[in-house]
Structure 1
């Protein structure tokens, strides 16, 4: 297979610039990619002309990703089925954490489980794909609520029939609002044995290219006193951001 050198260099330049938040000068690009100045200049001029790069004119000219590159990236994202991205991400997450992982979406004041992936030695959970559970006592539900305003949360809470499913379940709107405030601060939500007394779950919201929450991902396992669920939440928060970015989300 014959590779066109100029096309290859053009893509390498764009990949390098994309990793740099502040943009790169031509000398930096030439040095990092070992490209002759004349060749690099011609490629940069062409990419700018095509809207794939933008030029910042200051003391020295620097280059950043252009609007046409963004549009092409968004077209790719929009044409992909969300499940094509979520399913393999859940599989990797489940393997990494050795926990059962879910992706769920909000439907009214319920959570609907859309995808599920279990580790090699799974812990039995009652939730299956298509199952609906209350939003107020699931980490998925609370993670999604954490992206909303307090007024919106209270509006949803007004439709909830709070029931003490376990002795740890939140039983009123005020308790839910305070719990969601904590979830917002941490960046992840906890189901602290609120749905099933023997299960503890951590959940994080997932965003799309419009920065809208489209659902949440969670990791579930048997409750253990010696497990650090805050540390687990921090890991899940990072992985959730990676999934959101794969859907086009730009923090």
Structure 2
């Protein structure tokens, strides 16, 4: 069977961009994939228009994987065995704590929500399946960063553009690094009304059988001064460990 050359090149470009979290330039793509610059430019321009890649404009434009590619991937992910494995556990956990539970995965310097489980009387949350939020001001993103390997963490943090969402939002690299140290010490992270003034979230890591941080789970609810968020954090961390064990992780968190 004869394969379409443009389609092959498109797939090769997407694969390379997905493996380059810091961003791939047009020159990178042409050099490593042995592509003519005109052909590569036409492909990445089309991919950018379709939301399959993001364009970062600087001295040289660079390309990172786009939200549309993740949404397509999510449709595949929803059919994976691990989703069917963790779904009943997280659904029951949402009912147990009476709060909304999310499962998210990293997407460059954002976190993408791929599962959402709500109690009988849920609060309205802005996060939906397929949406994404910055890592530095979400509990999901913080634990993913905290438990990523050092090289990946550095690459991601270097791409973050800190933006104030509330008066509590972390706005600098050093503050974020100190926060990530605390996350590793206690085993869970807070979004202490950093993304939305009225929302408090607690997140914990989920590991795969190889010990890599696959993603994270979080519990979200309206902020209550009387809530014991440290106790909730310990509960979420324990559930993260339980989910990790279900996915074959045998190490110590």
TM over 0.5: yes
The answer as to 2:139 corresponding to 1:144 is no
Shift of 1:151: 5.1
* 1:146-190 per-position Cα deviation (integer Å, ceiling 9, x unaligned): 113455433211101100111110001111100000000000011
SS state at 1:88 partner: helix
In structure 2, how many angstroms separate the alpha carbons of the residues matched to 1:85 and 1:233?
23
Aligned to 2:88: 88
Alignment of 1:222-237 (within 5 A): 222-237=222-237
Residue 98 of structure 1 is matched in structure 2 by: 98
8 Å Cα contact 1:154/1:173 also seen in 2: no
8 Å contact 1:115–1:129 — kept in the other structure?
Answer: yes
Instruction: Name stretches of at least 5 consecutive residues in structure 2 with no aligned partner.
Output: 1-78
C-alpha change, 1:207 and 1:174, in structure 2 (3 Å) is: same
State the aligned residue count: 173
Task: Report the TM-score, using the length of structure 2 for normalisation.
Answer: 0.66
Q: Tell whether the 8 Å contact from 2:208 to 2:248 is kept in structure 1 after alignment.
A: yes
1:86: how far off? 2.0
Distance 1:194 1:150 in 2: 24
Which SS does the other structure have where 1:92 is aligned? helix
Shift of 1:82: 1.3
Computed over aligned residues only, the root mean square deviation of the Cα atoms, in angstroms, reads: 1.4
Question: Structure 1: which 5+ runs fail to align?
Answer: 1-78
Q: Distance in 2 between matches of 1:81 and 1:159?
A: 32
Residues 1:133 and 2:133 aligned together: yes
Q: Is the 8 A contact 1:86 1:103 kept in 2?
A: no
Q: Could you say what secondary structure the match of 1:158 adopts?
A: helix
Residue 238 of structure 1, CA deviation: 0.9
TM-score (norm 1): 0.67
Residue equivalent to 1:245 = 245
Contact between 2:111 and 2:141, CA under 8 Å: does it hold in 1? Answer: yes
The equivalences for 1:34-53 within 5 A come to none
Q: CA deviation at 1:80?
A: 6.3
Larger Rg: 1
Q: 1:134 to 1:80 in 2, by over 3 A?
A: closer
Paired position in structure 2 for 1:109:
109
Alignment of 1:172-183 (within 5 A): 172-183=172-183
Task: Tell me if structure 2 keeps the 8 A contact 1:153–1:177.
Answer: no
Runs in 1 of length 4+ with deviation above 4 angstroms? none
Query: How far apart in 1 are the matches of 2:249 and 2:80?
Result: 14
CA distance in 1, matches of 2:91, 2:149: 32
After TM superposition, give the deviation of residue 83 of structure 1 in Å.
0.8
For 1:250 and 1:89, locate their aligned partners in 2 and report how far apart those are by CA, in whole Å: 18
